[in-house]
A and B are shown apart, each in its own frame.
Chain A
Amino acid sequence: MSAPVRPAISYARLLETNQLIQACGDSTYWLCLTRTVQGSKLYPVSAYILLSYLNAFYRYPSLIRKVEAVMPAEAIADRARQMGVKAQNSSIGWALPCFYLLGREYLINLGFLRPQDALDDVITVMDFWKRFQLAWHRNDGHLTNADYNQRAQILPHAAVQRFAGELHPVVPGDALSVAAQRFLATVSQYGFLVSAESRISLTNSGPYRLDDDRQLLMRDFMDLGETSLPWLDDIAADMPYNNLTVAMAVTGCHFHLVDDWGSFEATPEFTPDRLTGIGLYTSDTLSEGHQPVGMDSPATLAAMLHDLSDRAKAATDRLWLRMAGWRRDQLIDAGALCYYAICKEIAHIAGVFDPADWLEIDPRAERFRPLLSDDYADQALGELVGSLTLPSQQTAPHGLMKWSDKPTRVLTPLPLSVLNGAPYLPRVAPPQKGGSHLPPKNDRYRTTRGVLSLAAYNEAARAFVPAACQPAANFRCETTLAYPGALA
């Protein structure tokens, strides 16, 4: 597939890009205000987040162009919908555009950019994001979960029917219930550690209505194995799956919120006794959709969940001891690279993953490291995404920002005066040779086809088109299926 021709800069293009930027800003503010306050005695979290934003700003546009030279955004999203890999929320739905735009905003405040600089890059990132999101959300017809009143009905009806039909019933207190609760907690704990004190190794989507009293929530755990995060080399060698998807039927509560970070809220609270059905699957770039894991019977599934919990717990202890021995620069690199590479799956899907692209800090970002004390980073990040008190975030005094009612904004729009000939830098330079304080990634990539070298993994990804993504199948959409006499 060839990359789509990107439209030239026009009034309409700038208006659309600015709308997308504003939507990202509104979403960022709401998510940061209501969803979380993070802190860690182990990880310098704010410092690594700011470094990741800078790395994203300098590198994402070039890497997106590299990916799209092989596969367009909408085709990547179609692939992603067939599997539980890390190409959904929060990775693409929020982080890809917002990490990039927050890096831009930060640099505007440091005097490194004008709002119109890197204009072509901004359009590239936002256009990619829009097309990905449209395809990813094609079954619910929204651009983001926020647009859909905080829900994500990504799956087509047939997939929901399949997952619902394969669920094993869970009775509170029975063997499968105990195993499921232990698995969900243990692997969540492991995921937070894998992703350096972030939630980006797990996400939730849905809910899907099963009947008046039951809903289906899909939870994905990602980057569990010895695949593309170098700090899992050896540590996670015996994790048999890199991605796991858990289908959960929940009775007696309504998931009123599944946000663009993949977090959920339910009314009443989703407690373990409300889990009444469960299924377990794995998938990746090379699989024909979701493959059942331990699903032969409730007993085999319970045994599988305990086995995976044991492995995740052992890996947690090993990984924690490794991380507890790291220097600050190593902790910052792990966090920054984990954040920055949150959307690396697009390169895996396209078969162009390269550790030099995704696992290095660009020198243009690296130079800022000496500034990133805990104190400064905590306060600067707080102003950037919380209090919105950086100079670029102030607007005319009549302003009433969505959610805050203050004359502020998170992200600066593109200035329309470029259409009158105002000068601008179209693009920043391509990625420069970077580095990391961590050991390099080994050449072992855990996939559904076994452990592959990177070359073999990329080659297999480029050669593979899942049956569901063959054009005839891919375009048999929900509307087509609803009118078999007219369209099928």
Chain B
Amino acid sequence: MSLLPTDNGLWGGEPDSPLVAAVHLSVRDLVRRRLAESGLDWEAFVAGPIDRCITAPDLAAIDAAILATGHRYAFSATISAVERPEAYQGLAALDGGFAHPDAPTAPPDAEGKSLCGAGDNVVQAAADIEGIARYVRSAAQVIALMESGVPAGSIAIIDDSGGTLTAPILDRFAGLVCAGGTVRSHLGILAREHGIACLMNVRLAGVQDGDRIRLETSAAARTAESYLTGTDMPARIWKLP
């Protein structure tokens, strides 16, 4: 088998991710085979044949080979799992409340409130806020809330750090709790624009739909420097009695 010109690089190893490594090794093997089959040297091969003899079906076969090992993809967009349930881990991951293993928790204190999570505060406010937890994790839930209206005092609990899933209803929430992103993610930017209290990068456990919660929005806003240095600046979340 021919070697590719970029095989055996002096400093490179393999990608960190086993999935990325598997895909890239498979693609590179495909390129090697097509180069050998062409009988061309690299200059001639890369000048045109590589665009014709490596096709979408070739690359789909690599995807199929990975699935044949039993691997199932984690989904980030719901549509991916909906369209290819055989290729993705189940949508059941969206059911129920968050149960992050690294969420800081503590038993109820003297006031009866129990620590159930923490995140990065987007904007420091004068006071903490309280509201009713309402998970929003799918387009169907958004459509339902567009039709019924968002109940006053709701705090959205979402795992989407973007600004699109909740776009039609975002401005109707009293607060936002997001399990992903940073304070500079799109959701954080929009929360700041709308003037909505927001914690990003939240680790949360034990909060169910309808629970009354308090967000420590009086905590300092997390800074860019803290992300660069890896310094945590937690704003806490409590479940209220």
Interface residues of A (CB under 8 A from B): 33-46, 108-115, 117, 181, 184-186, 188-190, 192-193, 196-199, 257, 263, 265, 269, 271-272, 316-317, 320-321, 323-324, 326-328, 331, 363-364, 366-371, 373-376, 378-380, 382-383, 387, 389-397, 403, 407, 423, 425, 429, 432
Contact = CB atoms under 8 A, between A and B. Distances in A.
B9 A34 contact: no
Contacts of A327: 79, 83
Contacts of B31: 110-112
Contacts of B182: 35-37
Nearest to B10: A396
A334 B125 CA distance: 37
Query: Quick one: which of A45, A263, A320, A383 has the most chain B CB within 10 A?
Result: A320
B74 interface: yes
Contacts of A43: 77, 162, 164
Contacts of A380: 15, 17, 20, 23
A394 B11 contact: yes
Contacts of B4: 111
Interface of B: 4-7, 9-17, 19-20, 23-24, 27-28, 31-32, 42-43, 46-48, 50-51, 54-56, 58-60, 62-63, 73-80, 83, 87-88, 123-124, 137-139, 142-143, 146, 159-165, 167-168, 170-171, 180-182, 184-186, 189-190, 192-195, 201, 221, 224, 227-228
Contacts of B160: 39-42
A199 B62 CA distance: 33
A369 B79 contact: no
A114 B189 contact: no
B185 A38 contact: yes
B231 to A, nearest CB: 13
A113 B12 CA distance: 15
B164 A383 contact: no
A331 B87 contact: no
Nearest to B138: A41
Contacts of A39: 76, 159-162, 180-181, 185
A189 B163 contact: yes
A379 B20 contact: yes
Nearest to A150: B224
Nearest to B200: A37
Nearest to A196: B164
Given A370-B60, A407-B11, A44 B50 contact: no
B13 A394 contact: yes
Contacts of A109: 15, 24
B15 A383 contact: yes
B63 A316 contact: no
Nearest to A399: B11
B74 A38 contact: no
Nearest to A390: B15
A376 B23 contact: yes
Contacts of B227: 33-34
A420 to B, nearest CB: 16
A41 B159 contact: yes
A188 B28 contact: no
Given A33-B228, A192-B190, A371-B27, A269 B221 contact: yes
B228 A34 contact: yes
Contacts of A320: 142, 164, 167-168
Nearest to B41: A423
B133 to A, nearest CB: 18
Contacts of A272: 195
A369 B58 CA distance: 11
